[in-house]
Amino acid sequence: MKRWATALVGALLTILVALAIWRQPGAHHVQGARYLHASASVMATRIEVLVPRSAAHWAPAEVFRIFREVDARMSEWKPTSPLSAVNAAAGRRPVAVPADLRALLRRAVAFGNASHGAFDVTWAALWGLWRFTGPKASLRVPPAPEIAARRALVDYRALRIDDTRGTAYLPREGMKLGLGAIAKGHALALAAAALRARGLRSFLLSAGGQTYAAGLREGRPWRVGVRDPRGAPDAIIAQLPLEDASAATSGDYERYFERDGVRYHHILDPRTGSPARGLRSVTVIDADPVRADAMSTAIFVLGVERGLALARRTPGLEALLVDDKGVVHRTAGLAVLSLRARARR
């Protein structure tokens, strides 16, 4: 599952924005002809904002504030967050949590139901079992008994959310919640709503690679490029138009190691405790950034056939999948500006 709390999470969601959001080391604001680009590090990843220059004095600061607030409440890596408090009290007692966190947890449970467990907010019990960064000698395939023991602690259906008492509870010690596959989408949704509430109709937000595009740019939809999973970082297999929608990608190519010719990547199937198989990347387009974030993970875990089936039965959602042979699959309603039928092997 995706985890926002590492610097490499940004690379997980590989959306290459064709309007060229450029980056300069140490720079926070870059003036353009009609738009201002600003960036900041929040959630251990890069948050990018492109807004009309008329909003430069307030819009970037508002976006960064929202991301910091979401991080403070919903990060599993901050010991003071309400989410961490739920994890620390697993198997012992319910914990009072804010209403917005309870609502997001309920959405996570709904995504779990829709994907038959391919999306599981309790996947975080698998933390530390697999390592995908660090010295080569430390990157190992865990023994089956270790995987089984951790897997026994993963079950989103066990999560108890009590809106009357305002609490959340994990019934077994060792269970853990992780919102890395949904929290950035949540922050994007809040930030986009805040900018719209103050009258902005054309802007672009990017959080670790997940992008939200509002309105049109100079009369045309924004464009995003989808990375070739086996190509250079700037190689793309598709260009997609984006208007009032979010694009989120999950891929196997940023954090992984290989053993005996097998690639072990960090997108774990919560039903098995091991890396998901069958796909190299999934890009989801959806008006709802939260659902785009969650479904890119769920579809990746499900594989080509079941993943496409989930996408097709989800109204308003479109998807592009690259399978483990490099063949590109997509839903019928996905609009494309350019598309290659096969990625690099």
* Sign of CA pseudo-dihedral 8, 13, 17, 18: positive
Q: Which residues contact 136 (CB under 8 A, 6 or more apart)?
A: 257
C-alpha separations of 116 from 152, 227, 299 in Å: 17, 28, 11
Structure tokens belonging to residue 187: 């922050």
Structure tokens belonging to residue 228: 């070739």
Give the model's pLDDT for residue 256: 86
pTM listed for this prediction? 0.90
Q: Which residues contact 145 (CB under 8 A, 6 or more apart)?
A: none
Q: Is 78 exposed, middle or buried (0-12, 13-18, 19+ CB in 10 A)?
A: middle
CA gap 118, 164 in Å, rounded: 29
H-helix or E-strand spanning residue 32: none
Nearest to 207 by CA among 62, 49, 60, 31: 49
Nearest to 251 by CA among 42, 32, 10, 26: 10
Alpha helix (H) residue ranges in 171-288 = 183-197
Digits of tens for pLDDT over the chain (345 positions)? 544 433 333 333 333 433 333 333 333 445 556 999 999 999 988 999 999 999 999 999 999 999 999 999 999 999 999 999 999 999 999 999 999 999 999 999 999 999 999 999 999 999 889 988 888 767 899 999 999 999 999 999 999 999 999 999 999 999 999 999 999 999 999 999 999 999 999 999 999 879 999 999 999 999 999 999 999 888 999 999 999 999 999 999 988 888 889 999 999 999 999 999 999 999 999 999 999 999 999 999 999 999 999 999 999 999 999 999 999 999 999 999 999 877 665
How are beta strands 203-207 and 45-52 bridged, if at all? Answer: antiparallel
Give the model's pLDDT for residue 98: 97
Order of strands, sheet of 245-251, starting from the edge strand that comes earlier in the sequence:
29-31, 35-42, 45-52, 203-207, 210-214, 245-251, 279-286, 318-323, 328-330
Q: Is 108 exposed, middle or buried (0-12, 13-18, 19+ CB in 10 A)?
A: buried
Give the model's pLDDT for residue 26: 32
Spell 170-198 as b/e; 16+ CB within 10 A means b.
beeeebbbbbbbbbbbbbbbbbbeebeee
Which domains, and CATH codes, for the chain?
9-69+181-259+276-339 (3.10.520.10), 72-169 (1.10.3980.10)
